[in-house]
Structure 1
């Protein structure tokens, strides 16, 4: 019976917030450099906040009613990394509130940064005990220590906590540099990723571009040499993603495709920042085509996700007995 099924959304669904709010930030910046209304950017930010609020409510409800199902996700070698999307999106929502209500932004940031640091210390340090299976080494491992620290740096930049932002940026950069060789070695030499995990490759697009965005947030928006180098590596990753499209498109569309969205939206924002620094040249030429391309990708993701929602295929429901069994096994 339908009444025996309950909503059971994995933490990975917070990825929808990443791309939506990231593109909102891109449009906010576009309204500063072009003659476009700020309402489109603000509208996307508000939409992302609503989605974040609904997902947070669903996650907390599951945590209260079926705590062991959340604990099983936290202990899973792959899914555990995606749990860190909750504090990550909380801090992005905080950035969204900065122009409107700074006290709330500070509260959300403070909560998000404490949760992300606590979870990263527990989850990532736990991997150092030597029991993490090699086949579970996917780009998802970037999320707890790389993505969260870069987003923390972005939030610090938005709140004018520059020194703290540099600390988080350093934590993110060196976490990224230590993880990338391990992840790429696994992708190259340890067997093909299962079909259901292939979309996690979308996360590989994000580190360089989000690092660039974080650096621009704490350096006053100056498109310096480091920003351009990070952007260049991000463009290279984009070419790799395009090359592999037939491989990960072999599965039907689902919410996991949003793993590409944060890197894509960061591409839009950083491209605009670098392109607006001059009236001509390489970055100025790239800015508009990349902005159009990234909007096209996010629009497709939003439309396909809405279609899944209307078809009843987006919101995952699980038998109550299954979630209760997870508790019985503890």
Structure 2
């Protein structure tokens, strides 16, 4: 008698859950350092992020084994393909979560995640340079392979003692963000309205300036805070614009796709808290707690929707063919 194990076909975008959970865990770790808040919420969130990451890695590898056609269709899709970059980003964030417990494990995960990020970013960017795309295919997911990935390479690397290397990757993320931002704003300002199913990806628009701020603070903690303040300020502007557009975005019902908001929201909270921990006594002193509360509310709301859909059996696609017999 043989036993068949079936795994669901999980989209790469689900790794956004790891980014949101680990991002909020990082916010709580920063809050513990800056304000002396309890450490256990941050560690629990990091542990949960690691569990979700491990499950998703199994599912994603399983997709390539049992549902190769679906995996190949995703990697050549003009929009969905960019979410694959989250595999490396999520791995590095898990490495950051593991760092206080095992430097060796964290370093191995970081190297694997950074290598995946760099290889995929180069491959995907090269494909984009070939052109042959429609305007509608340009969405904020374009940030994921290069901008999000390289900023996280810098931020997590600095925590592992690789701040010098992290500065080079911070430059990759910074100039990549500025270039892609111009393309996306041109698309948003001059092209037809984005289809409702793609609107939650606008949450990614918040991430570059504030994830960049977290990365900058990590790789250059003794630098004057002027540029970090500027990045946070632009992030707040992006957040306000997104709040103004939220009724329009919510024409697409709440779903796991809204995890796209969470990494940016948590970075928006983490950056000013880390400045407070470094001794910044300016406006971030009152700004940081407001953004911290906002980040917790946002992640809890999206997580609640995700859990509800899981209990309703509407979270994952139907199971695919056999993985093991």
How big is each residue's C-alpha offset from its partner over 1:259-305, in whole Å with a ceiling of 9 and x where there is no partner?
00000000111121234455854211111111111111111111111
Partner in structure 2 of residue 244 of structure 1? 245
Partner SS for 1:100: coil
Matches within 5 A, 1:61-80: 61-80=62-81
CA distance in 2, matches of 1:298, 1:66: 31
How big is each residue's C-alpha offset from its partner over 1:54-90, in whole Å with a ceiling of 9 and x where there is no partner?
1111000111112221111010000010011101100
* Partners of 2:33 and 2:277 within 8 A in 1: no
Partner SS for 1:239: helix
Partner in structure 1 of residue 105 of structure 2? 104
* Partners of 2:17 and 2:259 within 8 A in 1: yes
Partner in structure 2 of residue 18 of structure 1? 19
CA distance in 1, matches of 2:217, 2:7: 43
Partner SS for 2:123: helix
Matches within 5 A, 1:207-246: 207-220=208-221, 224-246=225-247
Partner in structure 2 of residue 91 of structure 1? 92
How big is each residue's C-alpha offset from its partner over 1:7-47, in whole Å with a ceiling of 9 and x where there is no partner?
11100000011111100011011111223221110000000
Matches within 5 A, 1:286-325: 286-317=287-318, 320=321
Question: Judging changes above 3 Å, is the alpha-carbon distance between structure 1 residues 5 and 276 closer, same or farther for their aligned structure 2 residues?
Answer: closer
Partner in structure 2 of residue 132 of structure 1? 133
* Partners of 1:221 and 1:273 within 8 A in 2: no
Gaps of 5+ in 1: 322-330
Displacement of 1:5 in angstroms is 8.1
Question: Judging changes above 3 Å, is the alpha-carbon distance between structure 1 residues 101 and 185 closer, same or farther for their aligned structure 2 residues?
Answer: same
CA distance in 2, matches of 1:306, 1:47: 13
Whether 1:7 aligns to 2:8 is yes
CA distance in 1, matches of 2:171, 2:278: 25
CA distance in 2, matches of 1:149, 1:298: 23
Partner SS for 2:36: coil
Partner in structure 2 of residue 325 of structure 1? none
**Bigger shift: residues 273-282 or 208-217:** 273-282
Question: Judging changes above 3 Å, is the alpha-carbon distance between structure 1 residues 19 and 150 closer, same or farther for their aligned structure 2 residues?
Answer: same
After TM superposition, the score normalised by the length of structure 1 is 0.93
* Partners of 1:278 and 1:284 within 8 A in 2: no
Q: How many residue pairs end up in the alignment?
A: 319
Partner in structure 2 of residue 269 of structure 1? 270
RMSD: 1.8
Partner SS for 1:130: coil
CA distance in 1, matches of 2:181, 2:75: 22
